[in-house]
Structures are given as structure tokens and as C-alpha cells.
Amino acid sequence: MSASATAHGLPAPHGGTLCELIAEPARNQALREEAVHLPSIDLRERQLYDLELLLTGAFSPLRGFMGREDYTRVCKEMRLADGTLWPMPIMLDIDADAAGDIAAGDRVALRHPEGMVLAVMTVSDRWEPDLKAEAKAVFGSTDDAHPGVFQLLHHTRAIYLGGALEGVELPPHHTFKHLRHTPAELRAWFDKLGWKSIVGFQTRNPIHRSHVKMMRYAAGQTESNLLIQPVVGITRPGDIDYFVRVRCYQEVMRYLPAQTTTISLLPLAMRMGGPREAMWHAIIRKNYGCRHFIVGKDHAGPGLDSQGKPFYDEWASRELVGAHEKELGIHMAPFEEMVYVEECAQHVPLSEVPEGGRPLNISGTELRRRLREGLEVPDWFSYPEVVERLREAFPPRSRQGFTVFFTGLSGSGKSTIANILTAKLMETGTRPVTLLDGDMVRKHLSSELGFSKEHREINIQRIGFVASEITKNRGVAVCAPIAPYTATRRRVREMITEAGGFIEVFVATPLEVCEERDRKGLYAKARAGLIKGFTGIDDPYEEPQHAEVVVDTTRHSPEELAQQVLLHLERQGFIGSG
């Protein structure tokens, strides 16, 4: 145990010991030498975050990725095999190829994508999980609309490895280094400042005036210092990226008393698991030295399910953490939603709005709308510097990049409409325009790929990647692949929405019509069995359910349909008047 873990006054880490897993210098050198001869696993982004928090002890008492016994009990009862409360499964998922013949007892090197050895794992368990059962147990749902479920069912690899870790080095970070701390560093810092009681606040959103009031209320009620700990790992798809948020947080810190408030960034890969996630967050904050933790309304909420209903009751997180706070050893701070009341010219707790007072608030969606349309953001809502940072990051739509993503069967008319649209957008000349047509991409980007499910997914992800880069740099990408799978299209949508606008256009030409046209003669070949796995014939096309624009080529000419898309872009503010 590190000395800092025992710093007097601060609560003990979960399970009693801060499990810092970076090996001491001599052992570290031996691990580096050993790793050269070990099988290697290259970690993906999400795994790097999990590994970092395992190695620093933020996930104490875990000493590595969970084995099967821990996993089973965590899924079922939110407890590790030894009975310690722990709500979230943390395993290393890999595909069969990467897993090779790795078996229990083997040692493997876990590497950063750039090649550095980060840790050596002694594998204790290898198994093939039932991911649907896991989704049901952990998230209470198998609905793809839940980001945690979606990740589990569509992007988690088939094999789980568990085992103890010996850390070599932490994954490197090149951004906001001065705001990143391990639990031991933060504990030592609190100790130095003489802070005994700290209330932790978790956030994945920019902080405005009402949040500050709410945090200060919690700090006041608990007589604590305040640790603002924003998540800079993976948050909910569509969230504001952390570069922008951290710039905003730094502005907010100027309004908070430095003697009693500090900020530290948390590289956590969130699962958006609602109540279970809230308990997990509380445990992590305890490991960082907090005595209290703010669990908000709809804490770590995943959004709405595919029927438009919330996945969890908005107070379920508070109930779950509240019911276990004694055993967890971290107290849930009183939480009051703060609203601005014009009549009082100040923020007050929602429960204390005086009669006749009109509570005001601006939702995240409304704020985005105002930024997008260049409208006023009132001073009572946020700090001028924060609004300025947000305006820099979210220019009005007329200055944002966007992607128009056509999808439809082969021969549906995607390319024709996409070509006309591209020409018209180039004519306006406000942004550079790139056409990523299906055939063109297959020639220049994906020439080695065929039409298996796996290859189609890779192909679409490549298109999505290029389009997101174009969009990020405020250009226009027009894509026109078949893109037959809902899950892959969703991934692309998520990737691009982070960078700018995403407009999906479903070219809904029925199969019979495409087949009748058969401009390339491919349907005839597919029917004759000369081409296998042809979309619509013996390979699926999953029709989009939420496309922004649906066009019907049986009733309108390609020019008319390109015009229909242009009108949509104009209505949404992407083109036309600035």
C-alpha cells in the first residue's frame, strides 16, 4: 500500500487498500524484458481507459481485469466473489484471432496501439460470455438505444480474459496534463491542503451557473471542500467533446474559491448504466479520497429507449446509492436541482421556488439550438467566458461541416442523386465538398475488400472516418454506399455527429424497381447465382427507420430529389443565409 493511501483524515479506499499496480523500478525493468517474449494484445481506446484506472487504483480493490467468478457475481448481485460491493463488470474483451491459444496461467503483454508495453497480465480466466444476458443483468435491457447495451452487443469482442495486472507505465496523455491526477496524487494534495472532507462532483457536460449553485449547496451542507471531476474518457455519444468542456471548466474555476475547490479530470469509459453506474462512480470517488459524492437526477442516464421511454427512473440512482451508502463508506450528498427565478433575481432550489415565482432553466438541447442559430444565451444561465468558449466550438450551422449520407440498394439511384447534390453544393461554393461514392470508395479506399458482412462493415467505417474528418474540418462530405446494416450506420452517425451535421438520406427505391432497372446487370447475375451475397437478393438490407430524408425515385426525377435534400439542408440552416 502506498503511503499516500493512509493519509490521515481521508476515508480509506474501497476494500481498504489503494491498489496501485505500477511495478517498482526493478520489477518494472524485468517486466519490460519479459514482455518482449510474451504474446501481445493491442488495447483499444475503451480498454486503455479501463486499464489506466485499474493501474492507478481508481478501481480499487480490483487488481486486474475480472475473472469469471467475480464477473458472474457482479452481474447477478453487484458484488465481487468475496462479497465486496462492485456494480460494473470490467474484463478484457478480445476476438478469437487475437486470443489465439491464450489460456489460464499464461502471461500476456498489454500494449498501447503505438506499441509501448503498459502492463503484463497473468491470465486467470478465459471464457465466452453471454453478452445479451450481461446486458440484461447490468443494464436491465437489451435495447440497442442504450449506449452501454449497444457497445456490449455490437462492439464487444467474443472472448473475455481476466487476470491480475502488473503495470509497466500508464497510457500517455498529451492534453491538460496539469489537470490529471492519480488517486494517490490527489490524496497527497488533499493532505497537503489539510482537506479532510471532500465532496466529489461528476460531470460529462459543461458547467453553468445552476451547477455551481448546486455543487456549492452540496459542499455547504456537508461542510466539505469540492472536487469537480469531469469525465474525459468516453461519455454518451453526442456529448460535447472534452477539449471544449475542459476549456469551459477552466473558465468556471475562476469563479470558484481556490481555497476550497479543485478540479481533476477522470479518464473513465462510462457505460451510461444509470443506478449501477452511479454506485461505481461513488466507489471511484471514494478511492480518490472523497467522503461525499453528489448523485444527481438521472445520474449517468443513457437517454430514452427505442419506445421513447426512460430506461431508469430519474431517482433510481439516488435510491440505489442511498440504500448502500453505509456499506460503500461514502456518503451521498444532499442534491437540489437549482433553477433561476426571475422574480428573486437568483437561483433557488426547485423545491423552494416561492409562490408565483417562475423557475427558468435552459436544457442542453436548447443551449445547442441557441448556439447553432447564433441566438442569445442569458447571463443568468452561464458565465460569459463559458458561452464564448462554446460559441467558438459550435459555430452556427451555416459555418459547420456536415455529411450527407445516402443509403439504399444497389441501383436505387444513390450515386445519381449524390452527384447532382455535390455539383449543386459546389456551385454555392461556401465549403469544400467531397463525394465519397460507393464505387469510388471501393476503388480508392477499400480495393482489397469484398462483400462479406465483416468487409462491408469495414468499408462503411472507413467512409465514416473520412467523412467525419472532412466534417470536423468544416467541409461537406457526400457519401453514397449501400451501407446495409443499421448498427454500422449508427456508428457512423455517432462518429460524425461529434464533428458536425449528419443527414441520412434513405433512397427508398423498392427492390423490384432496382432489379427491373438492373443497369449493371448485377441482379440478373445474382439471381442466376453467379454473384453470391448480393444485397436484397441473398444478403440483407436493413431499412433505416430514422433517416432525416427519405426519397422516392419512382415518382421523382434525380434533380427533384437532389433539390429535396438541398431544401432540407436549407431548412436546417446548413446552407443558405448565415
17, 205, 361, 497: the catalytic one is 205
Interaction between residue 411 and ligand PPS (CB under 6 A)? yes
Q: Secondary structure of 451-484 in the HEC alphabet?
A: CCHHHHHHHHHHHHHHHHHHHHCCCEEEEECCCC
Q: Stretches 67-75, 254-262, 419-427, 438-446: which one binds ligand PPS (CB under 6 A)?
A: 438-446
Question: Exactly one of 1, 445, 531, 549 binds ligand PPS (CB under 6 A); which one?
Answer: 531
Q: How many residues sit in the footprint of ligand PPS (CB under 6 A)?
A: 21
- Nearest distance from C-beta of residue 456 to ligand PPS, angstroms: 4
- Nearest distance from C-beta of residue 533 to ligand PPS, angstroms: 5
Within 8 A by CB and 6+ apart from 341, the residues are 347, 348, 353, 354, 357, 358, 359, 360
| Cβ atoms of residues 184 and 49 within 8 Å | no
Taking the least distance from each CB to ligand PPS, the nearer of 460 and 478 is: 460
Question: Exactly one of 90, 227, 483, 551 binds ligand PPS (CB under 6 A); which one?
Answer: 483
How far, in Å, CA of 531 to CA of 515, rounded? 14
Amino acid at 392: E
Within 8 A by CB and 6+ apart from 507, the residues are 406, 407, 408, 409, 412, 413, 414, 417, 551, 553, 561
Taking the least distance from each CB to ligand PPS, the nearer of 230 and 438 is: 438
Residue 205 annotated as catalytic: yes
Q: Stretches 72-80, 428-436, 531-539, 566-574: which one binds ligand PPS (CB under 6 A)?
A: 531-539
Whose cell is 465481487? That residue is 80
- Nearest distance from C-beta of residue 545 to ligand PPS, angstroms: 18
Scored b (16 or more CB within 10 A) or e, 192-214 reads: eeebbbbbbbbbbbbbbbbbbbb
How far, in Å, CA of 15 to CA of 84, rounded? 7
Interaction between residue 482 and ligand PPS (CB under 6 A)? yes
Taking the least distance from each CB to ligand PPS, the nearer of 258 and 528 is: 528
Question: With the C-alpha atoms ordered 52, 53, 57, 59, is the resulting torsion angle positive or negative?
Answer: negative
203, 235, 261, 553: the catalytic one is 203
- Nearest distance from C-beta of residue 450 to ligand PPS, angstroms: 8
Phi, psi torsion values for 284, nearest 5 degrees: -60, -45
126, 204, 245, 493: the catalytic one is 204
Interaction between residue 544 and ligand PPS (CB under 6 A)? no
Q: Which three cell numbers, joined as nine digits, stand for 328?
A: 460503500
How far, in Å, CA of 50 to CA of 313, rounded? 27
- Nearest distance from C-beta of residue 156 to ligand PPS, angstroms: 23
- Nearest distance from C-beta of residue 448 to ligand PPS, angstroms: 13
The residue number whose beta carbon is nearest to ligand PPS equals 438
Taking the least distance from each CB to ligand PPS, the nearer of 138 and 482 is: 482
Q: Stretches 164-172, 326-334, 337-345, 481-489: which one binds ligand PPS (CB under 6 A)?
A: 481-489
Bond prior to 61 in cis (omega within 30° of 0): yes
Interaction between residue 410 and ligand PPS (CB under 6 A)? yes
Binding mask 332-371 vs ligand PPS (x if CB under 6 A, - otherwise)?
----------------------------------------
Q: Which three cell numbers, joined as nine digits, stand for 219?
A: 459542499
Binding mask 441-480 vs ligand PPS (x if CB under 6 A, - otherwise)?
-x--------x----x--xx--------------------
Taking the least distance from each CB to ligand PPS, the nearer of 440 and 567 is: 440
Question: Exactly one of 71, 280, 402, 534 binds ligand PPS (CB under 6 A); which one?
Answer: 534
Question: With the C-alpha atoms ordered 391, 366, 202, 43, is the resulting torsion angle positive or negative?
Answer: negative
| Cβ atoms of residues 259 and 249 within 8 Å | no
Scan residues 486-525 and list those touching ligand PPS (CB under 6 A). 520, 522
Amino acid at 438: G
- What is the H or E stretch that residue 348 is in? strand 346-349
The DSSP output letter for 502 is E
Residue 68 annotated as catalytic: no
Q: Which three cell numbers, joined as nine digits, stand for 543?
A: 431499412
Interaction between residue 201 and ligand PPS (CB under 6 A)? no
Residue 203 annotated as catalytic: yes
CA distance readout (Å), 435 to 406, 458, 467, 563: 11, 19, 9, 17
Q: Which residues are catalytic?
A: 203-205
Residues found near ligand PPS in the complex (CB under 6 A)? 410-411, 415, 438-439, 442, 451, 456, 459-460, 481-484, 520, 522, 531, 533-535, 539
